[in-house]
Chains A and B, each alone.
Chain A
Amino acid sequence: TQLLEQSPQFLSIQEGENLTVYCNSSSVFSSLQWYRQEPGEGPVLLVTVVTGGEVKKLKRLTFQFGDARKDSSLHITAAQTGDTGLYLCAGAVSGTYKYIFGTGTRLKVLA
């Protein structure tokens, strides 16, 4: 069974602090996506990374795909209360139509 482990599971920080969320697996993925989910809603895509070593920036969010395409990280600079939510990574399993989701990181940013 392929697994995507996210850490930390929970994170509570003050507004203005920086944070990093990790997504790790022993499996290789053809691409990796990051989603954010608000209560009562479905996940919404933030970014897709495809190439090993790729770095993408979305305003204060920086996403990196590991060189071996087995892991990824999400770094948020100067967190805001609007960043509060559940962050999920999802790997596209090579050679299949399947996606494996990580266990999620629940972030709370306090004013």
Chain B
Amino acid sequence: NAGVTQTPKFQVLKTGQSMTLQCAQDMNHEYMSWYRQDPGMGLRLIHYSVGAGITDQGEVPNGYNVSRSTTEDFPLRLLSAAPSQTSVYFCASSRQGRGSNQPQHFGDGTRLSIL
């Protein structure tokens, strides 16, 4: 079972460059989300989507864009990379539900360094 697949696993960028982090899930989950994980800060929600064509902002959305054209894919775009965006990025998916108790399934993360 593939579950949630994130690519690339590692990336180094220069300040000002743009890139897209890919996330795909094969569980037909309506809900998908992006988090960043920084030391001592747990995971912080960047953007989320409750279905194809529907996205919304999380806790720390500035500097990131998302779109959801299919149920399976939820790419995260860095528009102009900054050193403060150096982090580990996780994509997650789950079944739909407001205030949901559905488990979130996480990918293995993308480790991003901005020089």
Please report A residues at the B interface, Cβ cutoff 8 Å: 1, 4, 6, 9, 29-31, 33, 40-45, 48, 50, 88, 90, 92-104
Contact = CB atoms under 8 A, between A and B. Distances in A.
B90 interface: yes
B104 A99 contact: yes
B108 A96 contact: no
B98 A96 contact: yes
Interface of B: 4, 31, 33, 35, 40-45, 48, 50, 56, 58-59, 90, 92, 97-101, 103-109
A94 B43 contact: no
B98 A97 contact: yes
Nearest to A29: B99
Contact of A97 (B42, B44, B100, B101): B100
Contacts of B35: 101
B70 to A, nearest CB: 19
Contact of B100 (A4, A40, A92, A102): A92
Contacts of A93: 99
Contact of B106 (A30, A44, A100): A44
B32 to A, nearest CB: 11
A97 B48 contact: yes
Given A88-B43, A103-B41, A95 B99 contact: yes
A16 B67 CA distance: 48
Nearest to B96: A97
